[in-house]
Amino acid sequence: MLSDDRWFTEYCEEAGSAHSFRIEAKLHEEQTGYQKIEVYETTHFGRVMVIDGFIMLSARDNFIYHEMLAHPILYTHEAPKRVAVVGGGDCGTLNEVLKHPEVEQVTLIDIDERVVRLSEIHFPELCGRNDDPRAKFCFTDGCKWMREAPQDSIDVIIVDSTDPIGPGEILFSGEFYSACQRALAGNGLLVQQSESPLLHMDILRGMYREMKGAGFSHLKSLFFPLSVYPSGWWSATMARKGAPIEGFREEAAGNRPFQTRYYNSDIHRGAFCAPEFFYQALSDIEPVT
């Protein structure tokens, strides 16, 4: 919500809190067939994209989110060649995935093409690899696309989703996870943004239950800061079809042929360290280690 004195405020009703950003200008607003999209120029966080009243990204700190969705899972997989990004219409995650020379094909599946087109205009730094010949765009329902994907056809699935409301709700369902499980090749990996562990453990518990029910036998969450999201502390949850999630290609990560601003081998190792309350909250679902 934009106030008369030029502050945009996002309210987190479930936590009884809110956070605000001083606005210099509103750059765009439109209602698509799926959601309301706004783009603002802020005084200290650069441009921000807002969908249905919730901040999706800022120019100042999006690199943390996008690097942590892409690099830990790609360096955990033994040979990630075929990647699907579900959601992620701002193209930041796609951009990070395409930095990996071993990746041969990346399909971005987003229900709303306007998110991509507005990102190309307002966040061109995230879209610089959209013309990479390895990239393919499909503007359709992510669950439907995954149900129709050939069995064992994907090595890594990255779910860069909105919150579990509106168009993004189905991406947190057992139906979707079952479709992902079928589409993944042996030892395939899935990772999905999983909200704030401080505010949304009910969502995390639901994800663990649904993923386990869909046949993912090994799950693990990683954590990172993100100042524009509620509580400033975010997570992503990784699930594996076959072997346990143990270790990563540390030498390859340490000698990665591209620059990062947040991710490195130490961050990779440390990101999987969880607080005690997290273990306690999931103890009846998953022996988190």
pLDDT averaged per 10 residues, the chain (length 289): 84 91 97 96 98 96 98 98 98 98 98 98 98 98 96 98 85 96 96 96 96 94 97 97 90 97 98 96 78
- Inter-axis angle of helices 201-213 and 174-183, nearest 10: 50
Question: What is the C-alpha separation between 289 and 279, in angstroms, rounded?
Answer: 8
Q: Please answer whether residues 53 and 37 qualify as being in contact, where contact means their C-beta atoms are separated by less than 8 angstroms.
A: no
Helix or strand run (H / E) with residue 268: helix 265-271
CATH superfamily of 62-282: Vaccinia Virus protein VP39 (3.40.50.150)
At 172, list the tokens: 């947190």
Which member of 160, 163, 202, 284 is catalytic? 160
Domain boundaries, the chain: 7-58, 62-282
- Whose tokens are 């001083």? That residue is 22
The pLDDT of residue 192 is 98
Q: Please answer whether residues 274 and 288 qualify as being in contact, where contact means their C-beta atoms are separated by less than 8 angstroms.
A: yes
- Whose tokens are 């730094």? That residue is 125
Q: Could you tell me which CATH number the domain at 7-58 has?
A: 2.30.140.10
The pLDDT of residue 30 is 97
Question: What is the C-alpha separation between 94 and 88, in angstroms, rounded?
Answer: 7
The pLDDT of residue 3 is 77
Q: Please answer whether residues 30 and 204 qualify as being in contact, where contact means their C-beta atoms are separated by less than 8 angstroms.
A: no
The pLDDT of residue 289 is 55
At 255, list the tokens: 């000698």
Asked about 131 being catalytic, the answer comes back as no
Long-range contacts of 97-106 (CB under 8 A, 24+ apart): 97/70, 97/158, 98/129, 98/132, 98/134, 98/135, 99/70, 99/129, 99/256, 99/258, 100/74, 101/257, 103/74, 103/134, 104/134, 105/81, 105/134, 105/136, 106/132, 106/134, 106/135, 106/136
The pLDDT of residue 166 is 78
